[in-house]
Amino acid sequence: MILVHPIMQVFFIAMAAVAFILGSQRFRSNHLGHQTRFNWKGHVYVGRIAIVGLILGTVAGIAITPHYFEYTPPVLSHGLLGLVSISFFLVGAVTGYILDKHRKKRKILPLIHGTANTVALILTLNQIKSGYALYISFVGGG
């Protein structure tokens, strides 16, 4: 059971990385004047799965944790930073929804959207490190 949350999160973090790679094509044409092809539908598709999956995976983490751990500071720091990252993803999800539903030429909102999601993605990379340590502390009997 303890592996449900880590496996979900690693999988959906990978999807978020794919969304980032697709989104960076848009960033290059939108702000850097490069000629690129942006896979709009593909980006929205993987981005949506990534964010919904990460939120569900986080809920699973919160639900499962009390069965394995006392609430000690290391658990909390992984948990708290996790919730911070999810808040950034929520901003990314709401702005992404608006960008997709009401399509027009924009600069600022895509920038807010891309920044929020990129910050969230970087935080989730740290979650892999802190989450792995948490897992080892459990398996190692700590």
Q: Which residues bind ligand HEM (CB under 6 A)?
A: 2, 5-6, 9-10, 13, 16, 19-20, 23-24, 26-27, 30-31, 43-44, 47-48, 50-51, 54, 58, 61-62, 64-65, 68, 75-76, 78-79, 82-83, 85-86, 92-93, 96-97, 99-100, 106, 110-111, 113-114, 117-118, 121, 124, 127-128, 131-132, 134-135
Residue 42 CB, nearest distance to ligand HEM (Å)?
A: 11
Cα distances from 59 to residues 35, 47, 52, 55, in angstroms, run: 40, 19, 11, 6
- Pairwise CA distance, residues 34 & 120, whole Å: 25
Least CB distance from residue 141 to ligand HEM, whole Å? 14
Token digits for 25? 């094509």
Helices 40-68 and 108-139, axial angle in degrees (round to 10)? 30
